[in-house]
Amino acid sequence: MAHDRFGGLTGWDFEGFHGGGDTELWRRLGSSVVTVEDDERGSVTGVRFAVWAPNARSVQVIGNFNWWTGDQMELIPGSGVWCTFIEGLGEDTLYKFRVETHDGRWIEKVDPMARFSEQAPANASIVYESKYLWSDDEWMEKRRTAQAHAEPMSVYELHLGGWRKGKSYLDLAEELVSYLKWQGYTHVEFMPLAEHPFEPSWGYQVSGYFSPTSRFGKPDDLRYLIDKLHQAGIGVLMDWVPGHFPKDEWALGRFDGTALYEHEDPRQGEHQDWGTYIFNYGRNEVKSFLVSNALYWIKEFHIDGLRVDAVASMLYLDYSREEGQWVPNQFGGRENLEAIDFLRYVNRHLYEREPGVVMIAEESTSFPGVTKPVHEGGLGFGFKWNMGWMNDSLRYLQLDPVYRQYEHNLLTFAMVYAYTENFVLPISHDEVVHGKGSMINKVPQDDWRKFATLRAFYSFMWSFPGKQLIFMGCEFGQRPEFNEATSLEWWVSDLWGHGGLQRLFRDLNHTYRDNAALYELDNSPEGFSWINADDASRNTLSWVRHDSSGNHIACVTNFSPEPLRDYEIGLPVAGAWEEILNTDAPIYDGSGEFGNLGEVTAHAEPWGHFPARARVTVPPLGSVWLRRTGS
């Protein structure tokens, strides 16, 4: 034998893959530059290609090195994996696989494990080996001991192509990092980074799960961006899409002519609404593929957490289906037991393997125990998006103030279930697309009231129990809906109202981060006390947030257009309370007429369940925060 034709792989290398326990599959499948020993010539370097296609009659690798004509691959005995080693090849080689199906058809497929791909609409896989040297040791060390639930988390969600059109990963490493630092966000969340063919899908229909989109540069350019964010003290989350994948004939679907990654039965294997395939979570090889993918982003790209998209669609067999269009589980129920097992598996593995990462569920139902640990019967996520809070809050926001008193419970109801899960409060891209209108255009009446209401709403949101997430452009009140084809309208941030809102966000973020009372006990009833939940007639809500060191912040929000003068509230401690935020301040383009001259004094006279009381001025459509340090 001249040299190892499988590039060092044997059937034993795929035992874990077939058992569902290979969590680093990218080290075995796909394309890798390797050096093998030749009997006559010593060390020989080239590229090893390996692809799982167990039902194929034959597989070839085609590429720019063989004029796309095909080099035959061999089946590694007992593995279902086709492999070949081609010496002399290296990085930047373009390739695809040509698969002969069981019925004699030839189909061309991109590599499911490709680590780099051509830019859409081209789609060839590209051989790529990272040479990046990280400089974020300090961040990664800190991450290992992080306690996410007791730390501040304000997330800026963005679509890479629409933040500033035409910017690369390298451009963003300068511009985005400095903007986020100025604004004070703790985290950035990138809408799917994985390669996707159709730009208006915003990356939610993935064709290259291991391939960072090449629209903005090379994989090591993305590593550089993440490194720079970490060095600036900013965590990086990414949207991860294990719920479904597109039907493009050159991608994962019917990969070897059979349903390999997806279910064969369309009642189990297709989302009719989205025109996509559903992963077969009961298949061990699919579990290995997906758990490896989750770990890949965290390990190879230092991603700090995954926000898992469309979890509800995974949990329920009848999701968006009519009667008779779905197959019940073995007990006759609607829960997808295999998907539930998979989610528990991936969450448990990542939390054990990479301490400090966060797993966040976008889950829109009341499925129990989403953020409960797996060993207690939960799904094992760290956080869940609070879609109920979001829907109720936006319904309230869109009401004319005269009608808000009749729907007051829309803003109080979230506290009824606030401690059932660990929540993130999201105002995400989904709320400002497809005819829903931008945030500024959801609010009724004239511009003064629109901006004042938004300032009050965001201060309400930032002081409510739970972590915070806002979509790009909301921070300066962009008027058009999100459109991935154009940049944000940055120029409006120089205008009245828009600029004030942007400055408010900066102060909200910095004040939030500087005051543990606003985040440390988010998931504990000890961190929150209502002052008055029931003042519906004045559209006003008030509460106190507490930390474990005896610090308190009182938050009063007035969603009516009438100012509140000498508004009486109860407080936990007598003495001086510093006014640390007033959304009517001139710096935020407010009137500046309704403040408390920097502080209020609480007197030791009982009020409700509080030992002290104070009188405050609260601006129309405005919010005031008061701080008392120490107990």
* Measured distance CA(69)–CA(73) in Å, rounded: 13
In the sheet where 270-271 sits, what is the strand order?
245-246, 276-277, 270-271
What does the DSSP assignment read for 76-112?
Answer: ETTTTEEEEEEET--TT-EEEEEEE-TTS-EEEE--T
Give the integer Cα–Cα distance in Å for 618 and 613. Answer: 15
Distance CA 234, CA 177 (A): 8
* 309 a catalytic residue: yes
| Residue in 6, 97, 104 with CA at minimum distance from that of residue 57 | 104
Cα gap 285→262, rounded to integer Å: 11
- Three-state DSSP string of 543-568: EEEECCCCCEEEEEEECCCCCEEEEE
Residue 478, phi then psi, degrees to nearest 5: -60, 135
**Gyration radius (Cα) of the chain, Å:** 27
- Residue 220 annotated among the catalytic residues of the structure: no
The catalytically annotated residue of 13, 220, 309, 507 is 309
CA 477 to chain centroid, in Å, comes to 22
Name, in order, each residue with C-beta under 8 angstroms of 251's C-beta and a sequence gap of 6 or more: 109, 110, 123, 197, 207, 245
Q: Of 252, 384, 247, 236, which is closest to residue 308 (Cα–Cα)?
A: 384
Catalytic, out of 354, 362, 392, 535: 362
What is the set of active-site residues? 309, 362
